[in-house]
Amino acid sequence: MNRFFIDPHDVSGDSIVLDSETFDHIRVLRLRPNESFIVCDAEGNEYECCLGDNTDDKTVKIIKKYLSTGEPNVKCFVFSAYTKGERLEYTVQKSVELGAHEIILFESERCVAIPRDILKKTDRLQRIALEAAKQCNRGIIPNVMHGGRFTDILNKADECSDLPLLFYECEKDHSVKNILEQYFPASYDHINHKINSVSIITGPEGGFEPREIDEANSKDIRVVSLGPRILRSETAPVVALTAVMYHTGNL
């Protein structure tokens, strides 16, 4: 079933007034009157709707409302260092598909491709997030934003989540498996559990500088390993997010 996102303020009683872009998209798809489609308000609510007999009317009828089933019960914030070319687009797309709540981009010492126009870059990546959210049945559109420099995002990761994790290829003592088993035991119950949000921090192509790891260790950030193999910069956040989703029963 076709899926669209709208502003929650466009919902009024038993109908929704579509914006021009969404309405034009529906016309391109040649949806017939009484043919159902899904409208999401980006706040986790979904509406099964249909067009009226007047196909030029942007007001559509709500058939049924329900909560989205595509949202995880654990909020995951993905902090990704800027990477080159399509790597960052891949990270954003797959993070949205896997259930990331928010994607924050940051500058690290070994970044080799910080965009000149950050606003233009994040606007493009936000569009990619929107299309991915439509495709994978998300109930929200995860925000994609610039988080500043490494120190800034360490503070934000600690503030916005119960369990901030930084993934470092040289870490030997703490694996992601052990950490997740410690904080999300087999008896994990997301309703009564104290850990309901996780931050995932991954580095650029060249990895993190040792002094950046020292800084993370000096704060309330858990430095962990993704295993004995060194993953590419666009692979690491996807693998880390997959591990959290799997371990918390969201896959």
Average pLDDT per consecutive 10 residues, the chain (251 residues; last block may be shorter): 89 91 88 86 91 80 91 96 93 98 97 92 96 93 96 96 96 94 77 83 95 95 94 96 94 89
Residue ranges, comma separated, of all CATH 2.40.240.20 domains in the chain are: 3-67
pLDDT at 57: 79
pLDDT digits (tens, 9 = 90+) for 80-94: 999 988 999 999 999
| Amino acid found at 57 | D
pLDDT at 186: 72
Q: Which residue has the tokens 């007001």?
A: 59
pLDDT at 188: 66
pLDDT at 194: 74
d(CA 28, CA 43): 26
pLDDT at 191: 63
Dihedral pair phi/psi, residue 29, rounded to 5°: -75, -10
What would the 3-class secondary structure string for 74-109 be?
A: CEEEEEEECCCCHHHHHHHHHHHHHCCCEEEEEECC
Assess contact for 174 and 223: CB atoms under 8 A.
Answer: yes
d(CA 26, CA 35): 11
d(CA 18, CA 65): 16
The fold of 75-247 is Alpha/beta knot (3.40.1280)
pTM of the complete model: 0.90
Burial environment of residue 31 by CB neighbours within 10 A (0 to 12, 13 to 18, 19 or more): middle
pLDDT at 55: 66
From the options 1.10.3720.10, 3.40.50.300, 1.20.120.80, 2.40.240.20, give the CATH code of 3-67. Answer: 2.40.240.20
DSSP 3-state assignment of 223? Answer: strand
pLDDT digits (tens, 9 = 90+) for 121-174: 999 999 999 999 999 989 999 999 999 999 999 999 999 999 999 999 999 999
Residue ranges, comma separated, of all CATH 3.40.1280.10 domains in the chain are: 75-247
d(CA 211, CA 147): 19
d(CA 52, CA 202): 48
Assess contact for 129 and 141: CB atoms under 8 A.
Answer: yes
Q: If phi over 0 gives left and psi between -120 and 50 gives alpha, with beta otherwise, what is residue 44?
A: left
